[in-house]
Amino acid sequence: MLPEADCFAPYLRQWHLMVDGEMLSTPCARLLPVRTPAGPAMLKVSHAPEEQRGYDVLTWWRGEGAALVFKRAGPALLMERADSVRSLITMSQDGCDDEASRILCQVAQRLHRAHRGAALPAALEPLPERFEALRQSTSDLLAPARSAMHALLAAPRDGVVLHGDIHHANVLDFGARGWLAIDPKGLLGESGFDLANLFCNPDATIALCPARFQRRVEVVSATADIDRQRLLQWILAWSGLSAAWHLEDATDPDVALGVGRMAQAALQH
């Protein structure tokens, strides 16, 4: 194991785990495939507040539409691992984008319906706070997205526990348990928010194709039973938020801006 993977050592011992693959790194977390006496799992370690909030939500879902949590201690989470080679990214790129979009919608709906009426996780981020970067942006390019954001947040149509980052790499094939979500952000707000990010994924070629965008709008609207205009507003607002983050980080906002332009044009017709 690499020296930077020393963060896993206490949990490998405590939970009697065997390393079963190479460590994966994200900006906020380290992940390690492991084997438990009961089978494969994924060990994740992160101190980031957003990731910790995601742990709370993943635990709260109890495997309904999401990966099961086996154990949790401090910054560490031991969860169910997907071993299938099937991928929504590949599915979308191989001409089955309609099917991939439907799966993403269906997983989002399962998450939104899970444990209705139960006490909510304590540390959910209200959706208005999530949009702070867009609210604070002064870029004229993002003015239409800011307008859509204000209109949506001023009159929410429902309020559910949101995943916060549903896209093709965060919904995986868990075999007999079906397609399930990983890596939630733990938000609270209108369900339509969780349908928007898929339009910026899985790559620029697909996301920026006007015909594919139009087809996705129809597929998602029908599958998720959401009003087409409302969906387009969420796509516009989300793409503006994504672009605002990119501008803050000095990274390329072109995909988010392009998706936003298509959503804005569709709203005007």
Active site includes 203? no
Exposure string of 98-134, with b = 16+ CB inside 10 Å and e = fewer, is bebbbbbbbbbbbbbebeeeeeebeebbebbebbebb
What are the Cα distances from residue 122, in Å, to 53, 64, 109, 164, 183? 9, 19, 21, 16, 18
- Determine the Cα–Cα distance for residues 7 and 106; give it in Å rounded to an integer: 35
- Determine the Cα–Cα distance for residues 41 and 33; give it in Å rounded to an integer: 6
Given 56, 97, 165, 183, which residue is catalytic? 165
What are the Cα distances from residue 44, in Å, to 9, 21, 73, 153? 12, 13, 11, 33
- Show which residues are catalytic: 165
